[in-house]
Amino acid sequence: MPAKLSVNVNAIAMLRNRRDLPWPSVTGLGRIALAAGAHGLTIHPRPDQRHIRFSDVPEIRALIDDEFPKAEFNIEGYPSEDFLELVEKHQPEQVTLVPDDPSQATSDHGWDFAAQMSLLKPVVARLKKGGFRVSLFADADPSSMSAARDTGADRIELFTGPYGACHDNPDKAAKELELLAKTADAALALGLAANAGHDLVVDNLPQLMRAVPQLAEVSIGHGLTADALEYGMPVTIKRYLKACGW
């Protein structure tokens, strides 16, 4: 089965937040994306609420529960106590833990699983006890997958930023794809499923799907939102689903 498509609506929220106005609507465009066939919605709430606001979270939860019960809600973020309490309150299907500093503009690296085991292992246990599927943001590094498994997580999310940055360098892109594929193979061999996300677009998704056909999910925000400005959200979702192999 092709990788499922989760639409990250952070960029929509950031555009909305430029004005003290309710548009563009995060839930409204989330509804359009799900109606067009997206499999879920992703958010990354940050402490400063510079894009997703805490008030968006229950609205997205209600949208999925009331109108798209087969869709999934994925909340990603750094596992501070405030973040964990937010997750526990709003009950996403998946929690993706990222090692971001709150001041970062966007995610730009995966966890050092071995070095941060003492932080991750109890957090993962707490989330799994709460019934959540747990995914951990991971660099393309096959040798790190054993430590990732030891955290108790269910999945990794491959950080595809280095691959996305090779949009003008096919040879380098091929090397990044090979490393992503080896990391996914190592993860699956240890019982971890693999997601992927960051700087994925229609043009580079098919190559990723061929190189890493075992991906369970891709989470896409910036490129998809940029395309939606040009093509409209329904057409954009169809293009991304096709690029994923649906």
pLDDT digits (tens, 9 = 90+) for 26-84: 999 999 999 999 999 999 999 999 999 999 999 999 999 999 999 999 999 999 999 99
Residue of 39, 72, 198, 217 with catalytic role: 198
Backbone angles phi, psi at 16, to 5 degrees: -60, -40
Residue of 44, 90, 157, 176 with catalytic role: 44
Percent of the chain, pLDDT > 90?
Answer: 94
Q: What pLDDT is attached to residue 218? A: 98
Q: What pLDDT is attached to residue 46? A: 94
Q: What pLDDT is attached to residue 105? A: 58
Residue range 113-152, pLDDT digits in tens:
999 999 999 999 999 999 999 999 999 999 999 999 999 9
Is residue 167 part of the annotated active site? The answer reads no
pLDDT (mean) for 234-240:
98
- Give this prediction's pTM: 0.96
In the CATH hierarchy, which fold is given to the domain comprising 4-244?
Answer: TIM Barrel (3.20.20)
Q: What pLDDT is attached to residue 107? A: 63
Nearest CA to 41 out of 61, 55, 23, 22 is that of 61
Q: Which two tokens stand for residue 96?
A: 């993706």
Q: Count how many residues are written for the chain.
A: 246
Q: What pLDDT is attached to residue 52? A: 97
Residue range 68-108, pLDDT digits in tens:
999 999 999 999 999 999 999 999 999 999 998 766 556 67
Give dist(CA 182, CA 234) in Å, integer: 34
Is residue 198 part of the annotated active site? The answer reads yes
Q: Name the band, by pLDDT with cuts 50, 70 and 90, for residue 167.
A: confident
Residue of 72, 76, 157, 217 with catalytic role: 76
Residue range 175-216, pLDDT digits in tens:
999 999 999 999 999 999 999 999 999 999 999 999 999 999
Question: For the chain, what is the mean pLDDT?
Answer: 96
In 98-221, which ranges are continuous DSSP H helix? Answer: 117-129, 145-150, 161-164, 170-189, 205-211
Is residue 44 part of the annotated active site? The answer reads yes
Between the CA of residue 138 and those of 27, 56, 118, 130, 191, what are the distances in Å? 29, 27, 17, 23, 15
Q: In the chain, where are the structural domains located?
A: 4-244
